[in-house]
Structure 1
């Protein structure tokens, strides 16, 4: 089968097409013919060595696919090695989806959707009526967080994005306003997947007992050092979130994903489809993602 693989760490240029052995499902697993594979920011960290050790090379990235099982079911699945024509998934990580649900919409729910769900429900512990500011509001996580914040009872949802087009897009998703720092008034919850200078500005923009949830470092720069005196003066909290260990908790994946799929089927949640790429163009997809030239869910089509 054709697959995307890297045998050394680096940038998008290390991703190449190979002929790989077809995966063989074991007990409790299903073989899936891949219709589309999702591209995540975490994939770029795997590629540059942030998430993997050298003894795990060579490696086929990709953690989510839409495809067909041997009996013709159209499914959404959490996998390993999804950048390929075939992938294997645990039966417990396979979900039937409607024939008319776009693959990109379903794929957006696996990592980005579940992340946004946990950011608001578990990490920020959003209460009804609180204000929420979403950084990178047109991105994969951000575009869903804007919508879920409203669904979960936020009183006011603010969006921040890098371009006018992305800010307008966030408003169409349901944000009350597109803003930039300094804010006119402090907010209760800030979701930050960027880090760097933006994180520092966010800290000074929290309301009393506000929470900033940090879940990534897309800026590729270090966070501002924190000291206890500053945190006391802010009367606020910094909450770290990483999806990988969260998914080890019972129900932390299946329960949010079922709710997200139901909300999408009911038209209450609108995942955003981004660009589609041929499988061989995985490197270009990574480059576009790193350069922030995209909005919505990126997909590879084998």
Structure 2
């Protein structure tokens, strides 16, 4: 049996590849026992060398059946109606075998040449034929108790709901526990009858060691006010202060330590008040409007201190309430 490739379905033309398959005796000796019966020669195997050829050169693969010149007995092999029937062709599925020179692996990927063509071995965090697709790190990850998975491409982060923490939000958080918060006026003296009493204030925060540490952005807000009660529960006169800047609002807390939010500027209007009306300055600590991360805040969140205040007694002589 001759096997060859052709650009024509009838096998005509100059073959691009032409090989003879030497049949093993069990196949070569296949008899035709009945006139008009079918002859089947099976398990014919060969390797076609297509080096230097394109798929357009080998559109069809053809087989030609011949009589072995050494056959015993000698016989005549003819095709009906002519010998062209001894050659048959069928479409040859051909694909161009690419190499690593034809494939670009992006984002740190490397090319591996395999028998069926080049394949990109992508770096961590990337996938796809040419490593252009980012891996979804959240695939198959479940953040517990309503947490949300954030895809960081090379890793994931569970954004936990309030009161939860841990890689998968599996742990319960205690939160920041405040033992005391104290307003500090840095020896400022308020004066009766004065419209603008300038203040440079500090909120000193003492936390409990059994609570959690916290660091992030937009964590804190404070409100200073004047009051006639030492616990801040009396008539409240809020002081105007500028919103906390990022350094102040982002002040970190280490459980069991003292933290200070300083350089908070304000003024107290005592034009219609006496020192006896507002002997205390208080501060109320709260979370920022949108803290990141959100956290639990418990404990003593209001604290007061006595004001250094100068006024006049009933006889018109100056006095200091301290």
Same fold flag (TM > 0.5): no
Q: TM-score, normalised by structure 2?
A: 0.16
Q: Which gives a bigger RCO, structure 1 or 2 (Cα 8 Å, sep 6+)?
A: 1
Larger radius of gyration: 2
Q: TM-score, normalised by structure 1?
A: 0.16
More helix by share: 1
